[in-house]
Amino acid sequence: GAPRAASVAAAAQLRRRLESELEDIRGAGTWKSERVIASRQGPHIRLAGGGAGIINFCANNYLGLSSHPEVIRAAVEALEKFGAGLSSVRFICGTQSIHKDLEEKIARFHQREDAILYASCFDANAGIFEALLTPEDAVLSDELNHASIIDGIRLCKANKYRYKHMDMQDLEAKLKEAQKHRLRLVATDGAFSMDGDIAPLREICQLAQKYDALVFIDECHATGFLGPNGRGTDELLGVMDKVTIINSTLGKALGGAAGGYTTGPTPLIDLLRQRSRPYLFSNSLPPAVVGCASKALDLLMESNAIAQSMAAKTQRFRSKMTAAGFTISGKDHPICPVMLGDARLASVMAEDMLNRGIYVIGFSYPVVPKGKARIRVQISAVHSDEDIDRCVEAFTEVGRKHGAL
């Protein structure tokens, strides 16, 4: 009868609207397509429908642990011993000994009091600000912070200040303005993923001290490999005792499976377990995922050799590319954006690199500012020197061909 006809009409209307919106995305040239990988993640991958032996330079697999044999074995063992998953959130019946062990290990790794696990760092960022800050408080956020920090801040009722990217004068001005609030929290990515630049944490911490503020860092692109022991940006810049809260991911350098966490003072972690919505209302991390991350941390705490080897590979790529005439943004970070300016140039060069067996991705507006198109290269500890040299050679050939050099 009538209700059914109405719902059919509504579904047809929805379909038309969605198709038109998709057409707009294609028309704007911002459509994101996904290449399908038919092998494990690693320095060398096989693409579905052909393409074997492709050298992969666009994963966040900074330490090469995503397919490390010991990490895989730990996942299999955890799967067999603890099952596929908990079918529950943590506070009902979803906490196993491995979750508590991993939280303790994360806190020890970062030299913090305690830690809490989430299904992702996106969730950790979505949960923390609302749980911690009230309308009496203020949050001061770098304008280029990751989308998940921006969304997390949107969800909280604190007073919001946005300072210019890594601009300490602007941060100081905003801190002065924010003195009227009860608590001030400065929030920044430790390392910014589009530019490979590292937040000036020493200066941020000095300002935080001067204006009685707390510092929060998102260490997704730093945990495991920045600093002498891979502890992150705070270790690299000598401010481990001055940063109060760290959020980071288990889905990049630490095994690459999934998961995120907050680490910091015990009462904060206790409060998050009571109040943080993505923690309270989402399933526990699967044992296999916990096993991967736990083994990755063991490997890093045993030795800093993997982190050091990644730093040496990064140095090799950055210096050879600079000598070849390219401009690489950022400093000493395995995210190496090859700056090209023109969006079309970035896209055709990335395509041509793949024809030469090198998988890299071009980024252009609106992901990065207009006129700042680039190809982002990410170095991993498991790239061989030969892989790096082949990448530089391909860039040089392709760059000459398309007039970028």
**What is the contact surface with ligand PLP in residues (CB under 6 A)?**
120-122, 125, 146, 148, 189, 193, 218, 220-221, 249, 251, 260
Q: Based on the residue annotation, tell me whether 252 is a catalytic residue of this protein.
A: yes
Please state whether the peptide bond connecting residue 200 to the residue before it is cis, i.e. omega within 30 degrees of 0. no
Cβ-based nearer residue to ligand PLP, 190 or 287: 190
> 68, 174, 221, 295: which one is catalytic?
221
Q: CA-to-CA distance for 196 and 368, rounded, in angstroms?
A: 13
> 120, 148, 193, 364: which one is catalytic?
193
Cross-strand partners of 115: 263
**Shortest reach from residue 212's CB to ligand PLP, in Å:** 26
Cβ-based nearer residue to ligand PLP, 122 or 363: 122
**Shortest reach from residue 63's CB to ligand PLP, in Å:** 16
3-state SS class at 303: coil
Q: CA-to-CA distance for 225 and 218, rounded, in angstroms?
A: 14
**Shortest reach from residue 12's CB to ligand PLP, in Å:** 35
Cα dihedral value 40, 41, 43, 44, nearest 10: 40
Q: Based on the residue annotation, tell me whether 295 is a catalytic residue of this protein.
A: no
**Shortest reach from residue 324's CB to ligand PLP, in Å:** 28
3-state SS class at 339: strand
Cβ-based nearer residue to ligand PLP, 70 or 151: 151
> 146, 252, 313, 333: which one is catalytic?
252
3-state SS class at 383: coil
Cβ-based nearer residue to ligand PLP, 153 or 345: 153
Q: How distant, in Å, are the alpha carbons of 56, 104, 114, 261 from that of 278?
A: 33, 20, 18, 11
**Shortest reach from residue 222's CB to ligand PLP, in Å:** 9
3-state SS class at 68: coil
Q: Give the orientation angle of helix 266-275 with respect to helix 121-132, to 10 degrees.
A: 100
Cβ-based nearer residue to ligand PLP, 197 or 387: 197
Q: Kindly state the DSSP code that residue 179 receives in the 8-state scheme.
A: G
Question: Which spans in 217-339 are helix H?
Answer: 233-236, 266-275, 277-280, 287-302, 305-324
Contact in structure between 124 and 261 (CB atoms under 8 Å): yes
**Shortest reach from residue 376's CB to ligand PLP, in Å:** 12
Q: Based on the residue annotation, tell me whether 282 is a catalytic residue of this protein.
A: no
Contact in structure between 60 and 256 (CB atoms under 8 Å): yes
Contact in structure between 380 and 365 (CB atoms under 8 Å): no
Cβ-based nearer residue to ligand PLP, 131 or 178: 131
Active-site residues, by number, are 193, 221, 252
